[in-house]
Structure 1
Amino acid sequence: NYIDSLPDELLYMVFDLLNLKSVKAASLTCRKWNNILFSSVYTNRFTFVIDAMKLIPSIPLSFVSRAKDLASQALRVLAHTRRSYRNVRWSASSCMNLYNSTIFTTIDQQFANYLTRLELSLDYSTTVDIFPRLVQTVPQMSQLRTLQLKDSDWNSFCFSNQDIIPTLRSETLRHLMVRSQFKFWVDLPQLESFNGSLSVIDRPERILEPLAVPSLKFLTISVAETDNEFKTRQPTVIRLLPPVEAMHWKVKLSSDEVFLTICESCTTLTELGFHRSLCLSNIGVYSNLDKLINLRVLTINDLKIADESPLDLDFSPLTKLEKLSLAAVVDSVTLPKSVQMLELGVNQNNEQSMINTILDCSEQLKELVLSLCAELPEDMPTEMLKILPRLKNLVVLEIENGYFGESTFLCLESPMERLRTLKLYEDHLRMYRFLQLKEKFPNLKELVIESLEKVSKSTNPDLYSLSAADFTSRSSRFGSSAEFESYFTSPSPSSSDSD
């Protein structure tokens, strides 16, 4: 058989083209294909899932019987499978307490030698029961690269009086995500990325020694601290970090001291993001960003200054900065000539200032995101839209939270020849077709229109273009433009018409 003579690598490519149902059928064809799919590196495509949270109903009287049935089924499959799963996801709850220990032990016995990714979603009682076993088994999982631990019930108060704080060790783990208030330390010499609470990577006894994550490069703080004592230690932990390349705050940051420590101690950062509120005492504190001279990507979604001084931001000292996402509405922005991708918050008060900012970097700008505050037609920053054709090298344009009508783009005085992608985002989209869309964006390759109701994406933007003849013909049937627009707010082109 010719196909049996193909190397495994080519069969991998063939299987990649099949959906999961077809792959299952292929696995039943012959032993060779079954081994390739479930006993080789190709097994990385699949995840073995045990989800007690989904399968056990919320009817107390059926907990015992359903838990027993689920446990029996899971253990039977685990005990007899010949598949070398490398990815395992286990969601457990207290209603499975009688079986959780056995299930975890069986997972360890069956997959420990192959496991590269382990995802655990546990409630309070299961975490307390399983974590000591996890601490024992993880060091023995020689292939483990990724570990995720999540609280399924997020009862942080349950861990507030935790007496014993264990240490998780591994010589192979490279990626750790912890969305849990369960307290533990880590000793992970190969860890490259961490996502969770900063306290997890702190040192036991909070000593002033380098952290036990010497290879850390990517840090995401996504869990707010509940330990008031640790909050005072945050600056110290940041100073003890190895030379990280990327740091993202997905919780509110309102400490001048922490912000200053980041600017002074993390000078190797090439990427920094504040995705929740950043609250500082005065604009002078904020100016310390100048010290992060290696920054290439900076994100600030919400910025507040306690003394209510003008938000005049000068990024010109950051001469390596390539991408700035500033969704926060500020008074003025000064950019270095290196910026190629830009996001700005725009309202009626700062429109002219943001126009000046954009024009100052018009030659090098390739991607632009405008986050607008426009709920009514008169709120749309038409002067901002008018200057867009002057961005001769712009390839991608995104407009968020605008009021889009059929005539939105008529204010463009000349075509945008280089634009290839146009994205429009709005809570309640009023229009799906636009006058002279093709004329204004003659080389458009992709149009994305997204609202709460639906997402429309097409590689044939002509479907969304309304000609002047169509406009005249249809509008003549109505007494006013408002009546016309009400009629014309129709569903997007059907999927049968789209590419």
Structure 2
Amino acid sequence: MPKDHNYMEILPDEVLCMLFDRLDLDSVKAASRVCQRWKTIIFFSGYVDRFMLDINILNKATTRKQQEERQLKRLIQQVKQLVAQTQRHYRGLSLGIEPMLEYQFPALWKAIHPKITQHLRELELDFIESSMAKIFPLIVEALPTMQHLQSLNVVDYGYNRIYQKKIPTLRNQSAMHLSMDCNYKFTVDMPQLQTYDGALCALLPPDNSSEPAAAFEKLTDLTISVKGWKSADPSIFRRMPCLKQCDWNVPLDADLFSSMSETCPSLTSLWFSKTLYTSDLPYLKSVLKLTQLRDLMFHRINQDGDYSGGTLQGLDFSKLTQLESLDLGKTVVQTSTLLNLPKSVRKVALHIDHETERRLIDIITCNLQHLTELRLAYYRAQPSRLLLKSLSLFEQLEVLQFSRCHFTQSSFLRMDAPLPRLHTLRFKRCKLETKHLLGLQGKFPQLKACEFLKCFVMTECDDDNEYQSDDTFESGDDLYSEDDILGSYDSDEFSEYTDSDEYQYDGSDYELGYDDYALLSALADMVP
């Protein structure tokens, strides 16, 4: 058999896709230029789902001259030409809209819709100090024609009050996920909707509508993250018969919450991501009616006028016999609360201080030794010898997280017996003498690497890269910020990041002038 035979040619498409999966995106881009077959697989098959087309022209501008209206018109004309030539069916589109683009956006959108939008499964719109009232109606008008759309995400970073002559309805027959982080007023007609994040009142029928209210029969995940422009009728939850998860990220409305507890008995996950007050506690007893709950989280409960933390006294969680995860945030935990936890609980997060430490440790070591996950927040303090020595009693523990704690290099040497099953040790917003903590291998034999999230490290070493420390604390960050939830499960991950599978464009397919290069780089790879 000839030595120079190209065996890659006989590999099936499925195997080539597996090989492409192991490449970074720049390498995949290079692979698309090897031959017509590879280009077809990468950009004209389902593999194109790996990429998202990112059009954010002004963010790529490098000079003030490039932002002049005449220049923008010329550049948008070039963008239109590029869109007209492309044959690729991108299924993800991200649009960044800034004030300088407002007057030119209709021309840009005309080039994109329907040429690009007819194939979209995901659409992301970022309004950066620009007017949603002027631009978003164009998107609303086009939504019904996007027959393959599955996800629509809209963010208005200005979050300004918006004047609207009318309240439009977002209509789409295929969309399953909708997120509206903005003050724009709208209603929703999406019968396939499964997850929703935004103002609850947007799910009400339009004012003065003669049609019956639409039922969201497939809605399972609800995040109430925007305070509504009008009150929501408590009966709204009757139109969500399959609701499983709810994140209450606005001030608690007693009537609405009571209605949800009565009409959504199948709820399995409930988060209170905003501070509650003692005046809310009587209504929280409705939680005990949700007997199917598996995941329950409180950000914090404050005494009215007192920001030191409140209590959950009077709530008997023993009735929640399916509960697996309980996050108490920054809440003063009463002895009775932990003593009455159901045996089903496997994950606990709580705040500890010097006054409550011994009492809480005694309770959790006696009653919760079966835990598989424990998250502890020490507010600006070092875990005591008592706590570290007590950890060895949790023989089933697999995940251990410390938040806002102080650690020296030898802190874990104070532990007694090892934790044989622990595979994740996470430090979040902690202050550490070093990342190279002594005794970890002996105390946690299954641990491969520690995780450091927004931590302040006093001494850095050259080989710190062996740890997962991409989110290390930087100057300007507040190590003790109160904005995030102390012990909660991934509820404060709002830091900026780039999707690892976001397609990167460098414009190398074109001979562009220097001034145009940065502005058009996001689109320069579209032409086949």
- Note whether the superposition's TM-score is higher than 0.5: yes
Deviation at 1:57, TM superposition (A): 6.6
User: Relative to structure 1, is the Cα distance of residues 152 and 442 closer, same or farther in structure 2, using a 3 angstrom cutoff?
Assistant: closer
Q: Distance in 1 between matches of 2:356 and 2:41?
A: 60
Note if 1:142 corresponds to 2:111: no
SS at match of 2:282: helix
Q: Distance in 2 between matches of 1:305 and 1:286?
A: 15
User: Relative to structure 1, is the Cα distance of residues 153 and 173 closer, same or farther in structure 2, using a 3 angstrom cutoff?
Assistant: same
Task: Tell me the equivalent position of 1:168.
Answer: 170
Q: Distance in 1 between matches of 2:225 and 2:331?
A: 24
Q: Deviation digits for residues 159-218 of structure 1, max 9, x if unmatched?
A: 3xx221111111111111111211111111001011111122221127795444331111
State which drifts further: 265-274 or 209-218: 209-218
* Kept after mapping to 2: 8 A contact 1:338/1:364: no
SS at match of 2:153: strand
Task: Tell me the equivalent position of 2:223.
Answer: 220
SS at match of 1:491: coil
Higher RCO (C-alpha 8 Å, min separation 6): 2
Q: Distance in 2 between matches of 1:356 and 1:234?
A: 46
Q: Distance in 1 between matches of 2:87 and 2:353?
A: 61
The structure 1 residue matched to 2:32, chosen from 6, 9, 27, is: 27
* Kept after mapping to 2: 8 A contact 1:254/1:280: no
Amino acid paired to 2:410? S
Note if 1:132 corresponds to 2:137: yes
Amino acid paired to 2:459? S
Task: Tell me the equivalent position of 2:197.
Answer: 195
Identity of aligned residues (%): 31
The structure 2 residue matched to 1:336, chosen from 312, 335, 342, is: 342
SS at match of 1:392: coil
* Kept after mapping to 2: 8 A contact 1:211/1:241: no
* Kept after mapping to 2: 8 A contact 1:48/1:89: yes
The structure 2 residue matched to 1:154, chosen from 142, 159, 162, is: 159
User: Relative to structure 1, is the Cα distance of residues 67 and 104 closer, same or farther in structure 2, using a 3 angstrom cutoff?
Assistant: same
Amino acid paired to 1:8? D
Equivalent residues in 2 for 1:260-271, closer than 5 Å: 260-271=258-269
* Kept after mapping to 1: 8 A contact 2:311/2:331: no
* Kept after mapping to 2: 8 A contact 1:282/1:307: no
Amino acid paired to 1:261? S
In the superposition, the TM-score normalised over structure 2's length comes to 0.79
**RMSD between aligned residues:** 2.7
Deviation at 1:496, TM superposition (A): 6.9
Q: Distance in 2 between matches of 1:60 and 1:152?
A: 25
Task: Tell me the equivalent position of 2:21.
Answer: 16
Q: Distance in 2 between matches of 1:282 and 1:262?
A: 15
The structure 1 residue matched to 2:356, chosen from 328, 350, 354, is: 350
State which drifts further: 97-106 or 336-345: 97-106
In the superposition, the TM-score normalised over structure 1's length comes to 0.83
Task: Tell me the equivalent position of 2:242.
Answer: 243
Task: Tell me the equivalent position of 1:359.
Answer: 365
Q: Distance in 2 between matches of 1:492 and 1:263?
A: 52
Amino acid paired to 1:246? Q
SS at match of 1:89: strand
Deviation at 1:14, TM superposition (A): 1.1
* Kept after mapping to 1: 8 A contact 2:450/2:467: no
SS at match of 1:387: helix
User: Relative to structure 1, is the Cα distance of residues 234 and 276 closer, same or farther in structure 2, using a 3 angstrom cutoff?
Assistant: farther
Deviation at 1:262, TM superposition (A): 2.9
Q: Distance in 2 between matches of 1:11 and 1:192?
A: 33
Q: Distance in 2 between matches of 1:54 and 1:21?
A: 21
Task: Tell me the equivalent position of 1:491.
Answer: 460
Equivalent residues in 2 for 1:19-58, closer than 5 Å: 19-56=24-61
The structure 2 residue matched to 1:428, chosen from 431, 440, 455, is: 431
Deviation at 1:410, TM superposition (A): 3.5
Q: Deviation digits for residues 198-239 of structure 1, max 9, x if unmatched?
A: 1222211277954443311111122233x2xx13x3534345
Unaligned residue ranges in structure 1 (runs of 5+): 455-488
Q: Distance in 1 between matches of 2:120 and 2:238?
A: 34
* Kept after mapping to 1: 8 A contact 2:126/2:157: yes
Equivalent residues in 2 for 1:89-488, closer than 5 Å: 89-122=94-127, 126-155=131-160, 157-159=161-163, 162-205=164-207, 210-225=213-228, 227=229, 230-231=230-231, 233=232, 235-251=234-250, 253-281=251-279, 283-306=281-304, 310-312=311-313, 313-332=315-334, 333=337, 334-375=340-381, 377=382, 380-453=383-456
SS at match of 2:426: strand
Deviation at 1:383, TM superposition (A): 2.4
Q: Distance in 2 between matches of 1:174 and 1:107?
A: 22
* Kept after mapping to 1: 8 A contact 2:199/2:224: yes
User: Relative to structure 1, is the Cα distance of residues 403 and 360 closer, same or farther in structure 2, using a 3 angstrom cutoff?
Assistant: same
Task: Tell me the equivalent position of 1:461.
Answer: none
SS at match of 1:222: strand
Q: Deviation digits for residues 440-475 of structure 1, max 9, x if unmatched?
A: 334433322344447xxxxxxxxxxxxxxxxxxxxx
SS at match of 2:179: strand
Q: Distance in 1 between matches of 2:405 and 2:304?
A: 29
* Kept after mapping to 2: 8 A contact 1:329/1:345: yes
Q: Distance in 1 between matches of 2:437 and 2:332?
A: 31
Deviation at 1:299, TM superposition (A): 1.4
State which drifts further: 414-423 or 182-191: 414-423
State which drifts further: 120-129 or 35-44: 120-129
SS at match of 1:494: helix
Q: Distance in 2 between matches of 1:248 and 1:310?
A: 20
Q: Distance in 1 between matches of 2:406 and 2:149?
A: 49
Deviation at 1:39, TM superposition (A): 1.1
* Kept after mapping to 2: 8 A contact 1:331/1:353: no
Q: Deviation digits for residues 318-377 of structure 1, max 9, x if unmatched?
A: 1101111222222322311001111111112222342244225434311111111233x5
Q: Distance in 1 between matches of 2:68 and 2:380?
A: 51
Deviation at 1:416, TM superposition (A): 2.2
Deviation at 1:111, TM superposition (A): 2.1
* Kept after mapping to 2: 8 A contact 1:373/1:401: yes
Q: Distance in 1 between matches of 2:427 and 2:141?
A: 51
